[in-house]
Structure 1
Amino acid sequence: MATNLLIVESPAKAKTINKYLGKDFEVLASYGHVRDVVPKDGSVDPDKHFEIQWQLNDKSAKHLDQIFRAAKTADNIYLATDPDREGEAISWHLSEIMGKKGLLKGRNVKRVVFTEVTKSAVLDAVANPRDISEWLVDAYKARRALDYLVGFKISPLLWRYVRGAKSAGRVQSPALRLIVEREAEIEAFVSQEYWSMEAQCRHPSQDFTARLIRLDGNKAEQFSLTDSKGAHAARDRILQAADGRLRVTDVSSKERKRRAAPPFTTSTLQQEAGRKLGFPTRKTMQVAQKLYEGIRIGEEGTVGLISYMRTDSVSLSGEALSQLRDVIARDYGIENLPDKPNFYRNKNSNAQEAHEAIRPTSALRRPEQIAQYLSDDERKLYSLVWKRAVASQMIPATMNTVSIDLTAGTEHAFRASGTTVVVAGFLNVYEEGRDARKADEDDDGRKLPALKVGDAVDLQDVVTAQHFTEPPPRFTEASLVKALEEYGIGRPSTYASIISTLLYKDYTTLVNKSFRPTDLGRVLTMFLTEYFTRYVDYNFTAGMEDELDKIAEGKAQWLDVMAGFWKEFGEKIREITLMINGREVKFPGIVELGTDPKSGKPLSARVGQYGAFAQIGTVEDEEKPKFASLRPHQSIFNITASEALELFGLPRELGVVDGQSVIAAVGPFGAYVKKGDTNASLKKEDDPYTIELDRALVLINEKEDFIRNRIIKEFDGSAIQVLNGRFGPYLSDGALNGKIPKDVDPTSVTLEQAQAWLTETGKPARRGFGRGAKKTAAKKVAKKAATKTVAAKKTAVKKAAKKTAAKKAAKKAVKKTAAKKVAKKAAKKAAE
């Protein structure tokens, strides 16, 4: 039996590390977090020193049982989860759970930390263990308590006023606010017209262009020319003054050095992978996790290819620097190697510098040499990390910028600029991507003819072009991550989950890779900024992250930080609760659009439980208000009254077939067409406002065919059916849906097999399972339910009767005993 147990969080990591350690070690995985805060109000109690109630995750039981069995026979237990706060928390939870089971008595329990999954790093970490860091654990507890209190205290208030909102979050809400405020900027933006002017110059060695820098003796700026008339008049003046030639009045040449970007942090990796590879943040982290945990590389075996990918640090270890310098000298020449290593400082004041930057575990593994062992995504990301790390230790690139000023007469001037690479340096390997190019960077790589002051060049033409100023761009995943980092919102490990949460909760959507807030997201932000201003403020959020960092560094006590937070936050919750109960809080996001011309009732738009909708009338009217869902591209914040009134054109009658009306409508689950009892959902390309009868009948016929062929097999006396579904045959009893093994013919399934498979794989059914199946199964389920109810009532009656009889017997016994005592006392007195 193994005398040493080492626990990591993922099976892939366990598999890799298992090969590095001897037979005396057993390596097991916890499969991530094993406990979390109980998801109910009161699980964090401010009145009991912020006591936290924890519960085991549903999926952790079988993995923990395996760990418990191994712990019973181990002399030493090494907790080797990830080297960050979350990893420290997992180790702490494991030690807490095992301690309560008495599994740690007489055993040596230590924390093991390594930032790369390589044999040398793992063996060194095991040889130099430490205790679990109370500071890091306290920082984790504070973060979970903060997130819990914000979520469970604000969300119930939110639900009463923002129907459809799932929850508020301490970090996600300020991130959403960034997106919402950017959208408001875009909507408020007023575009301005301006005209640019460019001279087309001819020279024997090379033609080139030059941009206008002086017009009529004044500096030419963006809005010097604002309309076509003025631009063409200026062009005519310039052409007349030039008389076919421009004179060179100044030639300047300047060399500058461009330093390589530092090696990757979590944030910069996510940004660059988004820009260069088109990876969403979550995908970047998933692929990086695989590269970190280990890939099988031929005879070398399974090895981690990059260092830990959740870090703010831009520093590299001495060993890594030495290896990178060897690779540069060998592959790119000694001339591209600086005299000493390049060192970088993090620009982010909130950075946690506990670990190294993200780098290859061995720079000797060139991307092209191991490409055959990697998936396409793994190859791309590894190549990015490798090139960035190598480039960071190379000499700067030397750029030569040449500027030539040319005049047309005495009042007008143009400038031509070109930048050429004199010494490539790090550009031989890698160049950082850009979200948007600056004007002076458009000249990169452009060469100009050799000219000197006094030379003249032929002016072929002066070209004018119309432009309009553009609003600020919407956030992409890369630029949002950059903004989150700059504002101090969240930490490296949270960026991907923040973005996923905003999308999952339908607070934002991605359109052409850019974030747009939904109406729900905007209304939520309006509510929070109105009533919980401080808690969605960027400075407050960043300040709380600083406090958590201080706890992690042992510079602050977590209970003190929590008490300071709760004092103000708890009071704010009480204040808003009283306002809500007193009906002082107004529903946010109601847009008044005017009056319905037919009824004279008010027309408005708002967000409801099933999305945005328009409304005619109010709840105070005698008649119920009319409602109509907004179309997918519409928003309550920019819809017009006429557009809103058009929405009330549904349901539309498309025609009559065999005496039944065919209509198009929109319901809680989307747009659909209907004939008789058959409803058929519209496809993405269909529009309920324009769909025609023929198309509607096609969809209805498809649905009817689907229903007719829905039931594959039924079993007498049972609610279980074998059904056809979107993804193939499956089992259902009305309450649960279960899987059928792929190699089994669905028509041959027996009742015994169906019952067993439904028990093993059954999950709650969502929205029914077909018209024919629904009616048959519903009756059986109802019958079963009725039988159970009758049986339950009989049992309850019997129990009640027994209970009553027991009570009566107990009362009699008490009375009898009391009577005996009274008689005894009386006899005693009489004797006396």
Structure 2
Amino acid sequence: MNLFIVESPTKAKSIAKYLGNGWVVRATLGHIKDLPERELGVDIKTLEPKYVWLKGKKKIVDGIKKAAKKAKKIYLGTDPDREGEAIAYFLKEELLKVNTSIYRATFYEITKKAITEAIGGASDINLNLVSAQFSRRVLDRLIGYKLSPFLWRDLKERGLSVGRVQSPTLRLIVERERQIQNFKRKKYYYIKAEFVVDGVEFSAVFKQRFEKPSNAEPFMKKLKDVMFVVKSVSKEMQKEPPPKPFNTVSLQAEASKILGISVDKVQKMAQKLYEEGLITYPRTDSYRMNKEKAQEFMKYIERTYGKDYVGRLRKYKEKALAWGAHECIRPTSLDKKPESVLELKLWSLISSRALASLSSDAIREKFFVVLLALSDHTLEFTAEGSKLVFDGWTRIYPKEVKDRALPHLEEGQVIKPKRIYIEEVEVPPPPRYTEGSLVRTLENLGIGRPSTYATIIKTLKDRGYVVLEKGYLKPTEMAFKVVDYLMEKFPNLMDYGFTKYMEDNLDAVEEGKKDWKEVVRESYRRVLNAKE
């Protein structure tokens, strides 16, 4: 008998179908050890963490150890990331007491082929990944445990918290709210002419911008009862390449917007789809797609939509640390679908995006017309139109772009405007963040990592720092106080550049380039130096 160990019962059930007789599949139900809840759990001098059993987990692991005693081989099949590697590490520590034939099996989708290959290529624990998890956990504990009491004392409210990623994220939301509060509404004015030619309505704009309506009046006088002549007509074909397949951030942002759910719910649903064997691992920075799977998908596109809709497997520039062998988020099969309505919507979104990324360009024809006022040829108006010539990938992954019709016009043609008027354009204030736009901003700034964004936003809501108002994140009064306090007392913690610097160093631990304790010690010292 061989033993295969994972975190989730759902994942265990999916894998058991592929392993068959001679195998026992067990689940830990998530992490088995963590830092203690009611004490720091880190030696300040040595930075040695004190990991303790989570409630009820020793009993579960003792049960797994009984099965391990009888196993020929033990495979640790926890998730292929820092958290999964740490679970595997603690499991191995315990299981070595009863059996030494322990292997780490890494896979990115739950299919028979992937599981078989993972077992065949099983090796040992990746200690760099374990160190990366330790470094993040210890640094986050030091910052949260040591700095939060300052908030309780000085702001006189318990339950407030400080976080390495959480606090700079809150700063983003508060700063955006202050931009909105301090925004001075600005209006601009343009002269616009409307026409109807051969039953087609269109408009042309005089490109000069005016600060006041009165500044446009002298030009309006010249345009009274004026006719226009077509100076030039031109057109060009524009190709619009397909979107990239999803990675963690783009899935969180897009699914949150389209399905109207939180990024936390998106991530939990995606994890469930993965554990059921329906999509690849949903925590990934990568846009890479397996060549064999891409070929399978492109054959489906040809059968379903026709040869003209088949594109190619594109190569995308990856980040320096794009989670190794991880792929994009894609379906494992186009035939296996979830039963739940909301999960089906998410699966369909992932599937259509993966297919669209392998489809052909959309082609749009753009038209440009220049019109001159006969009363004064310096008064030049422009009109633009567009028409979708070939829908390409947009047939698979729809994009809302309206055609702007222009009539057939020829150079030298004289046309009469339906009306000419001054159009007022008001510059809107910057919008509040949605959960989706916030995770994109965090990624662009290099703050945190995609696997943690959903948890960070949930924490900000749970702590009462932000509320969701009409789909937008609005900071509470306490959020302003917390951000102002931390900006004064711990400016390094709140500095976006320093936050990215810490994150880059933590990534260097994962790559084996830096010692995790040195990174934690230096980062923590610099956070505290801001207070001294």
Whether contact under 8 Å (2:235, 2:366) holds in the other structure is: yes
Look up the SS of the partner of 1:27 in the other structure.
strand
Q: 1:95 to 1:127 in 2, by over 3 A?
A: same
Query: 5 Å matches for 1:17-96?
Result: 17-48=15-46, 50-96=47-93
**Please, what TM-score do these two structures have when normalized by structure 1?**
0.61
| Structure 1 Cα separation of the partners of residues 324 and 101 of structure 2 | 30
CA deviations over 1:152-200 (Å, ceiling 9, x no partner): 1111122111233521001100100100111111111111122343211
User: Which of these residues, 196, 208, 211, is aligned with residue 205 of structure 2?
Assistant: 211
| Structure 1 Cα separation of the partners of residues 72 and 496 of structure 2 | 49
| Structure 2 Cα separation of the partners of residues 92 and 166 of structure 1 | 33
Look up the SS of the partner of 2:415 in the other structure.
strand
User: Which of these residues, 389, 392, 396, is aligned with residue 357 of structure 2?
Assistant: 392
Q: CA deviation at 1:91?
A: 0.8
Which amino acid is the alignment partner of residue 378 of structure 1?
E
* Bigger RCO (CA 8 Å, 6+ sep): 2
Look up the SS of the partner of 1:52 in the other structure.
coil
| Structure 2 Cα separation of the partners of residues 112 and 517 of structure 1 | 44
Q: CA deviation at 1:11?
A: 0.6
CA deviations over 1:330-386 (Å, ceiling 9, x no partner): 222222224x5322224x566434400001112x42xxxx66x52111111111111
User: What is aligned with 1:297?
Assistant: none
Q: CA deviation at 1:457?
A: 1.8
**Please, what TM-score do these two structures have when normalized by structure 2?**
0.95
Q: CA deviation at 1:111?
A: 0.7
User: What is aligned with 2:499?
Assistant: 541
Q: CA deviation at 1:513?
A: 0.8
User: Which of these residues, 224, 229, 235, is aligned with residue 239 of structure 1?
Assistant: 224
Q: Which runs of 5+ in 2 are unaligned?
A: none
| Structure 2 Cα separation of the partners of residues 177 and 490 of structure 1 | 14
| Structure 2 Cα separation of the partners of residues 147 and 175 of structure 1 | 14
User: Which of these residues, 250, 260, 265, is aligned with residue 278 of structure 1?
Assistant: 260
| Structure 1 Cα separation of the partners of residues 490 and 528 of structure 2 | 12
Q: Which runs of 5+ in 1 are unaligned?
A: 214-219, 295-303, 434-440, 576-832
Whether contact under 8 Å (2:216, 2:422) holds in the other structure is: yes
| Structure 2 Cα separation of the partners of residues 158 and 385 of structure 1 | 42
CA deviations over 1:245-274 (Å, ceiling 9, x no partner): 221112111112111111100000011112
| Aligned length, in residue pairs | 529
2:317 aligned with 1:345, yes or no? yes
Q: 1:115 to 1:142 in 2, by over 3 A?
A: same
| Structure 2 Cα separation of the partners of residues 59 and 453 of structure 1 | 81
Q: Which moved more, 1:464-473 or 1:315-324?
A: 464-473
Q: 1:353 to 1:404 in 2, by over 3 A?
A: farther
CA deviations over 1:763-784 (Å, ceiling 9, x no partner): xxxxxxxxxxxxxxxxxxxxxx
Whether contact under 8 Å (2:80, 2:106) holds in the other structure is: yes
Q: CA deviation at 1:232?
A: 5.8
Which amino acid is the alignment partner of residue 396 of structure 1?
D
User: What is aligned with 2:185?
Assistant: 191
2:130 aligned with 1:157, yes or no? no
User: What is aligned with 1:507?
Assistant: 465
Whether contact under 8 Å (1:253, 1:401) holds in the other structure is: yes
2:414 aligned with 1:414, yes or no? no
2:148 aligned with 1:175, yes or no? no
Whether contact under 8 Å (2:6, 2:12) holds in the other structure is: yes
2:113 aligned with 1:120, yes or no? yes
User: What is aligned with 2:101?
Assistant: 108
User: What is aligned with 1:620?
Assistant: none
User: What is aligned with 2:328?
Assistant: 357
Query: 5 Å matches for 1:253-332?
Result: 253-294=235-276, 304-332=277-305
* Aligned-pair identity (%): 39
Look up the SS of the partner of 2:503 in the other structure.
helix
Q: Which moved more, 1:191-200 or 1:395-404?
A: 191-200
Whether contact under 8 Å (2:447, 2:500) holds in the other structure is: yes
Which amino acid is the alignment partner of residue 452 of structure 2?
T
Q: CA deviation at 1:287?
A: 1.5
| Structure 1 Cα separation of the partners of residues 180 and 320 of structure 2 | 30
Q: CA deviation at 1:413?
A: 2.5
Q: 1:47 to 1:97 in 2, by over 3 A?
A: same
User: What is aligned with 1:15?
Assistant: 13
User: What is aligned with 1:200?
Assistant: 194
Which amino acid is the alignment partner of residue 421 of structure 2?
V
Q: CA deviation at 1:231?
A: 5.0
CA deviations over 1:700-747 (Å, ceiling 9, x no partner): xxxxxxxxxxxxxxxxxxxxxxxxxxxxxxxxxxxxxxxxxxxxxxxx
User: What is aligned with 1:529?
Assistant: 487
Q: Which moved more, 1:194-203 or 1:514-523?
A: 194-203
| Structure 1 Cα separation of the partners of residues 141 and 325 of structure 2 | 27
Which amino acid is the alignment partner of residue 321 of structure 1?
A
Look up the SS of the partner of 1:311 in the other structure.
coil
Query: 5 Å matches for 1:518-667?
Result: 518-572=476-530, 575=532
CA deviations over 1:532-578 (Å, ceiling 9, x no partner): 111111111111111111111111121221232244345556x3xxx
Look up the SS of the partner of 2:198 in the other structure.
coil
Which amino acid is the alignment partner of residue 337 of structure 1?
V
User: What is aligned with 1:516?
Assistant: 474
Query: 5 Å matches for 1:358-373?
Result: 358-362=329-333, 364-365=334-335, 373=338
| Structure 1 Cα separation of the partners of residues 457 and 409 of structure 2 | 53
RMSD: 1.9
